[in-house]
């Protein structure tokens, strides 16, 4: 046994020195490497978990917000449709009123024009009758050589006016 130990060089000095070296590495790595690294990994794992939770909450909030936005959009669309219909109806009503008003105005203008034309026509006709009466009286007095008195002129005028019906 002793020979075997000698062949392999097993001695208390080197053995204890190696034990001390291993313990030093073990303690220092535990304190300055594995400890901080595992803490950092754990902290990062927690942050990732919190991030995941936050992400879920954000996603949920986003879905709710989208639903709210969609509801608002639907409501806005409905309101817009309703307003458009109301505007269309209102515009139709105004148009009808305007058209009716224009028709009335046009009718009044036409009526006025027709009345003015009639008055003018009657005026022209009476002047024409008067002129024609004077012509007949003048012609009658020249043909008969008789001076026509007022009653004759009146009678002739009435006869001429009765015969002239333009």
Partner 1 sequence: MDFILSLSITDSIYPLFAAGLAPGALPGLGWFTNSIFFALIVTASVLIFTRMATKRMETIPGKKQNFVEYIVEFLYTQVESIVGHHVAPKVFPLLATIFIFVLASNWAGLIPGVGTVGFAGGEEYMSGPLTIKADAGHAEHHGEDTHGAHGEDNADHSPDEHHIAPFTPLLRPPTTDLNFTLALACVFMIVWAWVTFKEVGIKGFIEHTFAPKGGLEGAMKWALLPIFMLVGVIELISIAARPVSLSLRLFGNVFAGETLLHSMMALGKQLGLGGVPMFIASVIVPLPFYFMEILVGVLQATVFALLCAVFVKLSTAHEEAH
Summarize as ranges the residues that interact with partner 1 (CB under 8 A). 6-11, 13-19, 21-26, 28-30, 32-34, 36-41, 43-44, 47
Residue whose CB is less far from partner 1, 35 or 138: 35
Candidates 122, 148, 121; CA nearest to 134 is 148
Q: Tell me the closest approach of the beta carbon of residue 46 to partner 1, in angstroms.
A: 11
Q: Tell me the closest approach of the beta carbon of residue 56 to partner 1, in angstroms.
A: 21
Give dist(CA 32, CA 53) in Å, integer. Answer: 31
Residue whose CB is less far from partner 1, 48 or 62: 48
CA distances from 64 to 68, 76, 95 (A): 6, 18, 45
Residue whose CB is less far from partner 1, 45 or 68: 45
Query: Contact, 133 vs 160, CB < 8 A?
Result: yes
Residue whose CB is less far from partner 1, 7 or 147: 7
Give dist(CA 67, CA 62) in Å, integer. Answer: 8
Give dist(CA 26, CA 32) in Å, integer. Answer: 10
Q: Tell me the closest approach of the beta carbon of residue 7 to partner 1, in angstroms.
A: 6
Q: Tell me the closest approach of the beta carbon of residue 36 to partner 1, in angstroms.
A: 5
């Amino acid at each position: 046994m002793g020979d075997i130990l000698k062949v392999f060089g097993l001695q208390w000095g080197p053995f204890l020195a190696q034990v001390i070296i291993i313990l030093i590495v073990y303690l220092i790595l535990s304190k300055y490497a594995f400890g901080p690294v595992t803490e950092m990994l754990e902290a990062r794992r927690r942050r990732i978990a919190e991030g995941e939770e936050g992400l879920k909450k954000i996603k949920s909030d986003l879905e709710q917000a989208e639903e709210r936005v969609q509801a608002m959009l639907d409501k806005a669309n409905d309101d817009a449709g309703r307003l458009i219909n109301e505007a269309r109806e209102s515009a139709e009503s105004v148009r009808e009123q305007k058209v009716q008003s224009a028709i009335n105005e046009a009718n009044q203008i036409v009526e006025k024009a027709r009345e003015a034309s009639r008055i003018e026509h009657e005026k022209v006709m009476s002047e024409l009758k008067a002129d024609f009466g004077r012509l007949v009286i003048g012609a009658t007095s020249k043909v008969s050589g008789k001076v026509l008195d007022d009653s004759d002129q009146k009678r002739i005028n009435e006869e001429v006016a009765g015969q002239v019906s333009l």
